[in-house]
């Protein structure tokens, strides 16, 4: 059953191949994020999981990818999700899709799933006589690899005998899109707790992880009170930036705020990121789904720029704005594009 999960993704990419189903000449593999509806109503079949994966990326990235790693949010990463990842890795290896190098594109919890995949895929495949996949780099949008405190809140409400505050319950129901039962199986939400996420697949990776982060909130701020530091409505900055420590940061850079304002060491930001993690773009009003969706009108700024990551050139056009009371660093013409469009247009060279 699980071996079949990749076929629809590959078929989709075959249709897209006539347009732009590569990035900088390399095949793209998508890894979607948390889907709360899977927890509320577990998918009935592998076909439903595949369809959910296709729908997840419909705004932009489906047409620019050759394959997906689809998974079920009602399952644990080291359990059934690991089995799905192995089966898909075998199929990808046999297809030769990554012989010339592949680029991962992840969103939200897909960052954590990809980290587990990257740590294990070479050993899985080599041990069974298959060629390991050549993954060049990973583009991580709103990455939840460091977990999110909203998962702590969900788990506490479901598993604790204590009566949660009405605000906490409202935040959880808003985040989940429905009510949870007291005996609900929370699946990957257990893995998304910061303490758990930061102890999963901890070996340093040779694959560069490029981080694209936002600080907007599509939930009217209701979830932000349960997340540490600045957040995008779902994921805290400590996670999306790739910080080693789960602290309450308000930027990925000590020198630049999310809105591009130059702060010269005055921002609360991580001093150290995980190995091979690079904070690249920030958007002060870019919300969680806006990082891969159709949200425009946000003036993006940058942290790391003008470097090469696994053969992918990161070279965003930028401008310096000298204001009366403050100076700003901007990504040129970023208001006219979505974050994903700006990333693709820049890296696809």
Strands (E), 191-230: 209-214
Output 137 or 9, whichever has higher pLDDT: 137
Distance CA 92, CA 90 (A): 5
| pLDDT value, residue 19 | 42
| For residues 29-47, average pLDDT | 96
Provide Rg for the chain, Cα atoms: 19
| For residues 134-157, average pLDDT | 97
Contacts of 321 (CB under 8 A, 6+ apart): 260, 327, 328, 329, 330
Tokens at 100, concatenated: 């010339």
Q: What is the pLDDT of residues 273-319, one digit of tens each?
A: 999 999 999 999 999 999 999 999 999 999 999 999 999 999 999 99
Distance CA 8, CA 139 (A): 23
Distance CA 159, CA 181 (A): 10
Distance CA 38, CA 107 (A): 16
Distance CA 296, CA 336 (A): 6
Q: What is the pLDDT of residues 223-256, one digit of tens each?
A: 999 999 999 999 999 999 999 999 999 999 999 9
Q: Model confidence at 191, in pLDDT bands (50, 70, 90)?
A: very high
Q: What is the pLDDT of residues 57-98, one digit of tens each?
A: 999 999 999 999 999 999 999 999 999 999 999 999 999 999
Is a pLDDT exceeding 80 seen at residue 145? yes
| pLDDT value, residue 163 | 61
| pLDDT value, residue 129 | 98
Is a pLDDT exceeding 90 seen at residue 220? no
Is a pLDDT exceeding 90 seen at residue 349? no
Q: Model confidence at 18, in pLDDT bands (50, 70, 90)?
A: very low
Q: How long a stretch of residues is the chain?
A: 349
| pLDDT value, residue 242 | 98
Is a pLDDT exceeding 70 seen at residue 11? no
State what percent of residues in the chain have pLDDT above 70: 93
Q: Model confidence at 21, in pLDDT bands (50, 70, 90)?
A: confident
Averaged confidence pLDDT in the chain = 92
């Amino acid at each position: 059953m699980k071996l079949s999960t990749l076929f629809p993704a590959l078929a989709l990419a075959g249709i897209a191949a006539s347009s732009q189903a590569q990035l900088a000449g390399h095949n793209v593999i998508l890894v979607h994020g948390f889907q709360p509806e899977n927890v509320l109503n577990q998918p009935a079949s592998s076909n439903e999981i595949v369809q959910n994966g296709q729908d997840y990326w419909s705004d932009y990235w489906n047409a620019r990818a050759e394959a997906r790693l689809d998974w079920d949010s009602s399952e644990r990463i080291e359990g059934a999700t690991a089995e799905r990842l192995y089966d898909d890795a075998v199929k990808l290896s046999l297809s030769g899709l990554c012989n010339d190098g592949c680029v991962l594109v992840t969103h939200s919890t897909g960052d954590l799933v990809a980290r587990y995949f990257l740590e294990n895929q070479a050993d899985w495949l080599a041990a069974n006589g298959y060629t390991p996949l050549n993954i060049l780099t990973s583009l991580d949008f709103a990455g939840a690899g460091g977990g999110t405190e909203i998962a702590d809140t969900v788990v506490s409400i479901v598993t604790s005998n204590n009566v949660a505050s009405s605000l906490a319950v409202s935040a959880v129901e808003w985040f989940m899109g429905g009510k949870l039962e007291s005996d609900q199986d929370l699946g990957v939400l257990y893995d998304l707790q910061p303490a758990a996420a930061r102890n999963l697949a901890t070996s340093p990776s040779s694959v560069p992880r490029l981080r694209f982060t936002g600080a907007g909130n599509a939930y009217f701020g209701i979830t932000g009170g349960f997340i540490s530091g600045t957040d995008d409505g779902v994921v805290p900055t400590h996670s999306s930036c790739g910080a080693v420590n789960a602290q309450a940061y308000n930027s990925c850079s000590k020198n630049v705020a999310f809105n591009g304002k130059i702060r010269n060491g005055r921002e609360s930001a991580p001093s150290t990121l995980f190995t091979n993690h690079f904070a690249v773009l920030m958007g002060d009003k870019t919300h969680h789904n806006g990082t891969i969706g159709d949200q425009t009108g946000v003036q993006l700024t940058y942290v790391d720029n003008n470097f090469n990551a696994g053969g992918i050139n990161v070279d965003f056009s930028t401008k310096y704005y000298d204001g009366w009371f403050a100076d700003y660093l901007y990504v040129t013409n970023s208001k006219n594009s979505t974050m994903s469009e700006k990333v693709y247009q820049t890296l696809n060279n």
